[in-house]
Structure 1
Amino acid sequence: MKKNKLYISIFFLITLIGFSACKDDMMEEITKLEVDRAFSPVGLTAVVVNKTGVRLAWANIPNAKTYTVEVFANTDFSGTPVKTVKDITFLQVPYTITGLAGNTQYAIRVKSVGEGIDDSKYVSALIKTEPEQIFQDIAAGKLTATTVTLNWPAGENVTTIALNPGGISRALTAAEIAAGEVTLTGLTPKVAYTATLSLNASVRGTKAFTTPAQLPTGADVVVLTATDDLAAMIQAATKSTRFVILEGSKYDASAPIILPAGIDISVIGEVAAVKPVFSVNTITLPTVGGKLHFENIDLTAYAKGDETLSPSTRRQYIINQSAASTFDQVSFENCNIRHFVNTPLRIQGANPITINKVILNNCVIDNISVTDAGASGSYAFIHTNVATGKFNNITLTNNTFSNIGYGIILHNAAPSLSLTVENNTFYNVVGDTRYFIDYNAQTIANGFSLKNNILAKTFSPLGTGRGIRSATAPTTANNFQASDVVFAGNAIPNITAYTGTSTTLFTAPATKNFKIKDDGFVGKATAGDPRWR
């Protein structure tokens, strides 16, 4: 019996030793895992950059020495790749594939390459490049009412130029290709054109532009000479008049201008590389008036248009209306509006004042309601805080606003009929405790549209600026807000956050170059002032 117990004990001991040995072997296998091929890349992403490049990124693979990328001009990896790149190290990731065709669908695959083991299986991504754009921006002075000169990098491989409307299409000459420049003539004023630059059937660039108006003609046109007193001529007008300021001219109105009643007044600058200057010191609207229109004018608050003078010479307003008035329209087209201490557009006082329409299109607005010391001022760009004064319909489209020390609109004591804010770029706007747009509890009866705008950086040093306050919620679409926009409250509804700052998004915002430089920004082709896309 004792002998049997001894045998049983020996058996269990041997068994235990065996299990222990197996466990050691199992641990050894786990810690010395060996495979016969590299692991596949994981987390592959593909993003279009610079129209025809694709930036690839993936996670590092421990047993990969290098990586291989293959690019196919289809979606099923059939045929031969149009581009193969080998020996990419992880230090080169993200890796950008360049030299692809524009507006083309590609299938891209990546594999890991190990040392002494087989290559991994491929991982893949599908992506379509954007239409190529080698056209440069149209330089000032190269677009007139009847001609345009278009440029691209000299010597690029191109063959034809086309222009629509008009159905113009012709081969480029060797000299034009070498110079990277072509001039098209016989255009029609005030027409929106699209030029297309091609290499055989492949589009290499498109450029949309609108020809400016020719200098107006007619019995109502007065072309000013250098010695004319524009302010006096406006006040003396007895019929609707279009005043034309020629290239290089500067006109100063040191005294307030009182508009004549019941007529339309336009001040139109000749299209040129530098806009004609009109330095204004307050315009008073009549009791009953028609329209006041500025086009292609540099409206500056500096006396005599001279920015070398002391900042103390800056004027305060374009319109600061306190007298009773019912006025049809105030409009600005392709103007610069700059340096006003307070605001271009203010209604004040107890008298009844209605301006039916305010329209700003394709304008550049800078340094409004900012003190000489650089602090926030006291007036919004469009400003009324009295129950007796209102702007019925406000339209702000295709503009750039920068360095606005208060806000864009204050209309907090009376309602409006409509408000449209679309395709604008806003930089360094909204002061401490102020609102981007403030209607308080007032309504906008026929709707408030807020679409395709970019907000970048707030002016508020304390971070106490606010977004939108209105009894009428805006209809929104495709709006973006950079990370250096700080609102303490009243967030703009349905706005898309851009994770970078204004300096990440724009080329040089501090010097007023708001060209979008971030190719990964999803609103690059659709949001903000179109001049910067």
Structure 2
Amino acid sequence: MKKIFKNIPILFSLLIVFTVSSCKDELPEEITELVTDRLFSPVGVEAKVINKTQVVLNWTKNPKAESYVIEVYENDSLTFAGSPVMIFTNITNDDIPDTIKSGLIGATQYSVRIKAVGSEIAESKWSAVYFKTGEEQIMNAVSEESVSAHSVKLTWKAGETATKIILTAGQSTLEHVVTAEEIAAGEATVSGLIEDTDYTARLMKDDKVRGSATFTTKIDLNAANTIVVHPDEDLVAAIQAAPSGSRIVLVASDDGSNEFLKSAGQTINIDKGISIRGYLKSNKPTLHMQFRLTAENASLTVKDVILNGQSDADMRDHVVQLTQSVACGDILFKDCIITNYGKSLISGASGIAVSVRSFTIQNCKVSNILTSSADCIDVRSGCIENATLLNSTFYNCAPDRDFFRLDDASSSFPGKSTIIKVNRCTFSKVNNDAARRLLYVRFANNEITFTNNVVANSVGYYTNQTATNIVLFNKNNYFNAPNYLVYTGTALNVKTDNSGTYLQQNPGFVDEANGNLTITNATLLEQGIGANISW
């Protein structure tokens, strides 16, 4: 048996070789080209929206396609119902990627389908993609000259269609129907507005926004409780005589003069609620003055003013001085330039048990607060219940002292706490001393958030106080300010930013040596880090 089966594998192998060799000549030719009776549908179709209302269409080129057809459907999501609003033909491979530059409406969903066309071969089936345009912006910025106390002239590209303009201010809404004449001219004047009010205007085509603009109406100089003061008039007397709740408006003289108390700066007592306003943002008045809050419920708002502590005679010590043990109201500086004070932004000396409901600096440029024998925000025996620094720059403030100094006077203010919020601010050469702190806060029951800020050119650090309660660091940028991240000095209990969300990039200040802390770093601008003052 063994002999009979011994050669079977050899015989089987020979049989396979013979069979394969016999069939080889019968195999079909190798397929090197796929022949079809129609073009393949476009592949890799993409749509990228640019400039709000333009779209770039891209797909893989088909060498057999002589052209392409593109159809665009409005308010559609790949259903392709009804008729297209645009049809493009004779698009060639050389046109890919193809851009639709006009005719699209803002904030609208579109579907696009594309097919390939050739000669002597059937056209392809459709390939599709959808996209949504951004809100258009065909409105122009509103100039100061176009605004009055109760009206505004709004402009856009002449001939562009619109149906109405919607103006909103808080809960107040006003609609203006756009006429054919206004469309042709590209401008419309809207009346019936409230004076001294922030508005947003939206240019509409039916329910689509075609553009928007913001503006603030001017102050009505004839309104109730409004007192107009020119540089050649007695500002101090006007403030002292004004009833509580009055609005002092500083208006330039006919000769263009717009500077108050330049020859000898003044310190004026504020014993009421009062606001001091510049009339024009583009021509802020310069005021050489120090404010002293002296009475219960005294409050102060200063807006669109340049506060310069340096007069021809001397330099004022403080922007605000708290001299009485009273409960003050709100203190607000907005859209101001504050510069050249010898000691502090706000000061409450030892022994003055004063409380302030809120202290806010918003959209301001602050520089050269020299803190001679003082600190920048310096309250020793009082309580600031809410301190807010928002979208402001601080240059050479507390150059060799503490920036915040709020001592523990909590025993004099049972139940009160101090809330500090610093957001989107830029600090350079602030508390620029290795022993000095940005947040020297000892008032019990404090809570501090420090977010989206830039700290630059400072050898100081945050704090070494266990009572300083920093509840949030987030997205701050540090440049040439090492001790805020890794402290290398000898102080104990030092707190640093260990959030893991910080950046370390050069802000690219426009002119840091002269206090211009405008940021040019694209990453910081995109992420909203540091001040971005637009007035």
TM class by smaller structure: 0.5 to 0.7
| Aligned equivalents of 1:69, 1:511: Cα separation in 2 | 51
Q: 1:72-151 residue pairs with structure 2 within 5 A?
A: 72-73=73-74, 74-79=76-81, 80-83=83-86, 86-87=91-92, 99-108=103-112, 122=127, 124=129, 126-151=130-155
Q: Distance in 2 between matches of 1:57 and 1:483?
A: 41
The structure number with the bigger radius of gyration is 2
The alignment partner of 1:149 has SS state of: strand
After superposition, what is the alpha-carbon deviation per residue over 1:214-263, rounded to whole angstroms, capped at 9, x for unaligned? 23656x765324323434765x6596465332135211356564433643
Asked if structure 1 preserves the Cα contact closer than 8 Å seen for 2:116 and 2:123, the reply is no
Distance 1:528 1:88 in 2: 47
**Matches of 2:404 and 2:118, distance apart in 1:** 65
Counterpart for residue 295 of structure 1: 303
- For residues 129 and 256 of structure 1, the distance between their equivalents in structure 2, rounded to whole angstroms, comes to 56
Q: Distance in 1 between matches of 2:335 and 2:503?
A: 29
Find out whether 1:204 has 2:204 as its counterpart.
Answer: no
Is the CA contact 1:467–1:491 (under 8 Å) kept in the aligned structure 2? Answer: no
Residue number among 34, 44, 49 corresponding to 1:41 in the alignment = 44
Partner of 2:177: 170
Q: 1:153 to 1:317 in 2, by over 3 A?
A: farther
Alpha-carbon distance, 1:76 to partner = 2.4
Aligned with residue 386 of structure 2, among 381, 393, 396: 393
Aligned pairs for 1:189-200 within 5 A:
189-191=195-197, 193-199=199-205
- Cα 1:261–1:92 change in 2 (3 A) is closer
- Residue of structure 2 equivalent to 1:181: 187
Cα distance in 1 for partners of 2:365, 2:188 equals 34
Cα distance in 1 between the residues matched to 2:477 and 2:115: 36
Question: In the alignment, does 2:485 pair up with 1:488?
Answer: yes
Provide the aligned length of Structure 1 versus Structure 2.
479
8 Å CA contact 2:344–2:376 kept in 1: the answer is yes
- Counterpart selection for 2:251 from 246, 249, 256: 246
Paired residues of 2:107 and 2:132 also in contact (CA < 8 A) = yes
Distance between the aligned counterparts of 2:464 and 2:19, measured in 1?
77
Equivalent position amino acid for 2:189 in 1: T
> Does the CA-based 8 Å contact 2:338-2:367 persist in structure 1?
yes
Question: Matches of 2:367 and 2:311 in 1, distance apart?
Answer: 16
Q: Structure 1 residues 413 and 38 mapped into 2: Cα distance closer, same or farther (>3 Å)?
A: farther
Given residue 394 of structure 1, which amino acid in structure 2 is its aligned partner? A
What is the aligned partner in structure 2 of residue 157 from structure 1?
161
1:460 and 2:464 aligned: no
| SS of equivalent residue, structure 1 residue 156 | coil
**Is the contact made by 1:339 and 1:367 (CA closer than 8 Å) also made in structure 2?**
yes
Q: Output one character per residue of 1:300-352: Cα deviation in whole Å (capped at 9) or x when no partner.
A: 45647xxxxxxxx9957642647555351353365322444678623365333
Hey, what does 2:328 align to over in structure 1?
A: 328
- For 1:134 and 1:185, how far apart are their aligned partners in 2? 21
Amino acid in structure 2 at the alignment position of 1:266: S
Question: Are residues 209 and 272 of structure 1, via their aligned partners in 2, closer, same or farther at CA, if it must alter by over 3 Å?
Answer: closer
* Matching residue within 402, 408, 415 for 2:393: 402
Contact 1:279 1:301 in 2 (8 A): yes
Which letter maps to 1:328? C
CA distance in 1, matches of 2:139, 2:437: 35
1:82 Cα deviation from its structure 2 partner: 3.8
Inter-partner Cα distance in structure 1 for 2:352 and 2:93: 73
Deviation at 1:170, TM superposition (A): 2.8
Change (3 A) 1:101 1:413: same
Q: Which residue of 2 aligns with 1:230?
A: 235
| 1:393 Cα offset (Å) | 1.8
1:488/1:185 Cα in 2 relative to 1: closer, same or farther (>3 Å)?
same
CA distance 1:70–1:316, change in 2 (3 Å): farther
Q: Hey, what does 1:266 align to over in structure 2?
A: 275
Specify the SS of the correspondent of 2:10: helix
Match for residue 367 of structure 2?
A: 368
Which whole-Å deviations, capped at 9, do the CAs of 1:109-132 have from their partners, x for residues lacking one?
6789999999798463x4433332
User: 1: CA distance between counterparts of 2:13 and 2:469?
Assistant: 88
Distance 1:107 1:426, change over 3 A: farther
State the secondary structure of the residue aligned to 1:177. helix
Partner Cα distance (1:303, 1:226) in 2: 14
Instruction: Spell out, residue by residue over 1:65-86, the C-alpha distance to the aligned partner (whole angstroms, 9 max, x if none).
Output: 9998764321124135445664
SS at match of 2:456: coil
Mapped partners of 1:263, 1:169: distance in 2: 40
Which runs of 5 or more residues in structure 1 are unaligned?
305-312, 372-376, 504-509
- Secondary structure at the aligned position of 2:52 is classed as coil
Q: Which amino acid aligns with 2:287?
A: F
Change in CA separation of 1:166 and 1:366 when aligned onto 2, cut-off 3 Å: closer
Contact 2:344–2:369, Cα closer than 8 Å, also in 1: no
Contact 2:107–2:133 under 8 Å retained in 1: yes
Contact 2:53–2:136 (Cα < 8 Å) also in 1: yes
Q: Which moved more, 1:157-166 or 1:100-109?
A: 157-166
Between the aligned partners of 2:503 and 2:135, the Cα distance in structure 1 is 24
Q: Which amino acid aligns with 1:391?
A: I
Query: What is the aligned partner in structure 1 of residue 350 from structure 2?
Result: 350
Q: Is the 8 A contact 1:327 1:354 kept in 2?
A: yes
Deviation at 1:460, TM superposition (A): 1.5
Aligned equivalents of 1:147 and 1:515: distance in 2? 35
Q: TM-score, normalised by structure 2?
A: 0.64
Q: Tell me: CA distance 1:367–1:201, structure 2 relative to 1, closer, same or farther (3 Å).
A: closer
- Whether contact under 8 Å (1:106, 1:127) holds in the other structure is yes
> Secondary structure of the residue that 2:364 maps to in structure 1?
strand
How far did residue 139 of structure 1 move? 0.9
Deviation at 1:290, TM superposition (A): 1.2
